[in-house]
């Protein structure tokens, strides 16, 4: 098992912090809410973590973010925290970020050349993982333990507005990530996504 360097720990902490900022962006821009549900930048930062850090560190940064929130720090959307958030209707999205960052990182690691197309493929695989896990969890939560029945199709319909925003940010992230990746790896003379 490869040990974590100080540099690795700093990157993991940085992306965990970016997730907390992305979760609460509507605190500074309240117009970014739909039907009282805040639009977040979390999928953007999650996918960027996978693209730039790889599967191991990308997923770890999402685990750290989730654990900090579960421990009670107000890092989840609307400055919430605690394990109860995980059992809420949107808790599956927090868990989906771990899966998505890992999937994105694995795709990036499989392409040693880091072609531009790989950044897009990995990014869209990540956003797909986020919505598959998150929306399915939301549907289960509403129907099983929250006792607010909703059809699976209706759950996807609710998420339609968010998908449009996240696809746009996925394209943006995939477009800027190659430049960031090259700059960071050139500056540090080492591969980050290893």
What's the pLDDT tens digit per position in 97-119? 999 999 999 999 999 888 999 99
pLDDT tens figures, 22-58: 999 877 766 666 655 667 899 999 999 999 999 999 9
Domain spans in the chain, listed from the N-terminal domain onward:
6-188
Greater pLDDT, 3 or 193 = 3
Which H/E stretch holds residue 34?
strand 33-34
By percentage, how much of the chain surpasses pLDDT 90?
75
Q: What is the pTM of this model?
A: 0.90
pLDDT at 132 over 60: yes
Contact 18/75 with Cβ under 8 angstroms? no
User: Which residues have C-beta within 8 Å of that of residue 181, sequence separation ≥ 6?
Assistant: 51, 52, 114, 119, 192, 193
Two structure tokens written together for 173: 């992230």
Which residue has 């540090």 as its token pair?
188
Query: Average pLDDT for residues 13-17, to the nearest whole number?
Result: 97
Contact 82/68 with Cβ under 8 angstroms? no
**Fold designation for 6-188:** Arp2/3 complex 21 kDa subunit ARPC3 (1.10.1760)
Greater pLDDT, 123 or 113 = 123
pLDDT at 175 over 90: yes
């Amino acid at each position: 098992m490869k040990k974590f360097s100080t540099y690795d720990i700093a990157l993991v902490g940085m992306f965990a912090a970016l997730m907390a900022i992305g979760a609460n962006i509507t605190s500074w821009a309240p117009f970014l809410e739909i039907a009282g549900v805040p639009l977040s930048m979390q999928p953007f930062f999650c996918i960027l973590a996978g693209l730039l850090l790889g599967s191991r560190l990308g997923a770890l940064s999402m685990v750290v973010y989730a654990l900090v929130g579960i421990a009670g720090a107000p890092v989840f959307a609307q400055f919430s925290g605690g394990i109860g958030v995980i059992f809420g209707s949107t808790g599956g999205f927090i868990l989906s970020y771990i899966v998505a960052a890992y999937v994105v990182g694995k795709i990036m690691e499989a392409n040693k050349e880091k072609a531009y197309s790989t950044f897009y493929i990995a990014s869209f695989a990540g956003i797909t993982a986020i919505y598959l896990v998150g929306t399915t969890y939301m549907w289960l939560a509403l129907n099983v333990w929250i006792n607010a029945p909703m059809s699976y199709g209706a759950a996807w319909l609710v998420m339609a507005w968010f998908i449009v925003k996240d696809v746009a940010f996925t394209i943006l992230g995939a477009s800027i990530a190659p430049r960031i990746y090259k700059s960071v790896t050139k500056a540090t003379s080492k591969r980050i996504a290893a």
